[in-house]
Structure formats: structure tokens, C-alpha cells
Amino acid sequence: MRAGGAALLALALLGCSRAGGGPATAAPTPAAGPRVVTPSGAVFSVELARTDEERAQGLMFRESLLPGWGMLFLFDEPEVRPFWMKNCHFPLDMVFALKDGTVVDVLRDVPPCAADPCPSYPPKGPADRVLEIAGGEASRNGIVPGSKLRYLDVPPR
């Protein structure tokens, strides 16, 4: 592994989030700001994690994730980056994808980590975007490997 890759891997492992709430369609979605459209047409407003610090923090220590919201981790290049659930409170779905929206892998209902050491969860292939949403949302919204996400108002990185 490249030296820079090792550092990114360590930071990606910290990029945890928690989720809670109902389906994406339960909350109104703003017409502006970064969003991800799922194969079902549901729209998730997303916070962006672009810097090493933002990716390391992820959604840790939050008490809730509003319905219809998530976090989108942006990376420069596709790599296999394991994520973990340290300091998370709810299960979530991790959607590993590419810039063109192609879904590489979906890890469903990943449980929060109750005690150290926390397990890490790698995708089946390289990705440069990771969408974290409430557990169960991927299934409800037709997100499967090979399906396409659409990004709205999301910068290239």
C-alpha cells in the first residue's frame, strides 16, 4: 500500500456515521444544496466530507440523522476503503460508488460499534464516493451493486 494510501485508509476507517429515521421520502428535500437521487427517485440531502478532517469526523457522536439526509464522502481516486462504526449509535447503510454514480457495493444495516476494537467493513471493489444513509434505506430505494445514483450540486471533490 502506498504511504498516502495508508494515511487515507486510517482516516477512512474513522469516517463513521449513524443514522436513524424513516424513508427518504418522509421529509421534504430542499431544492438546492448537495443531494443524491436514488434509483427509486428518492432524494437525499447530503453533507459532504471532502477533507481528511471531515472524513475522519464523519457523523460520529451525533444523536440522530434526519429522514432524507445522509453524508457523502468524496475521495480523489477509487480505492478499497474500509469504514467502521466507532462512536456511532444507529445502524446505517454504506453505499460505495463511483463519480459516475455506479454503485460498487452496498453494506446494509451495519451495526454500531459497542466496544473496541471496532470491526472495519471494506467494499467488494474500489470506490471514490461513499454515501452513508439510515439503515434500511438502500433496500427501500433500490440501491444495489450496478445501479446508478445521480448527484445534484455535488462538486467533483
Q: What is the pLDDT of residues 36-84, one digit of tens each?
A: 999 999 999 999 999 999 998 888 888 788 889 999 999 999 999 999 8
Per-residue confidence (pLDDT) for residue 28, from 0 to 100: 47
CA-CA-CA-CA dihedral for 38, 54, 56, 25, to nearest 10: -20
d(CA 30, CA 7): 35
Average pLDDT for 95-113: 96
DSSP letter string, 64-89? ---TTEEEEEEEEEEE---EE-TT--
User: Which of 56, 55, 53, 37 is closest to 45 using CA atoms?
Assistant: 37
- Per-residue burial over 27-49, b = 16 or more CB atoms within 10 Å of its CB, e = otherwise: eebeeeebbbbbbeebbbbbbbb
Count of CB atoms within 10 A of residue 67's CB? 19
Distances (CA, A) of 146 to 63, 95, 115: 32, 11, 34
Distances (CA, A) of 149 to 62, 67, 114, 132, 144: 25, 18, 31, 13, 10
The class that CATH gives domain 33-152 is: mainly beta
Percent of the chain with pLDDT over 70: 80
Beta strands in the chain (DSSP E): 35-37, 43-49, 69-79, 83-84, 92-97, 103-110, 120-121, 127-134, 150-152
Q: Which of the four pLDDT bands, split at 50, 70 and 90, describes residue 2?
A: very low
Average pLDDT for 72-99: 94
What amino acid is encoded at 116 in this protein?
A: D
Q: Where are the domains of the chain?
A: 33-152
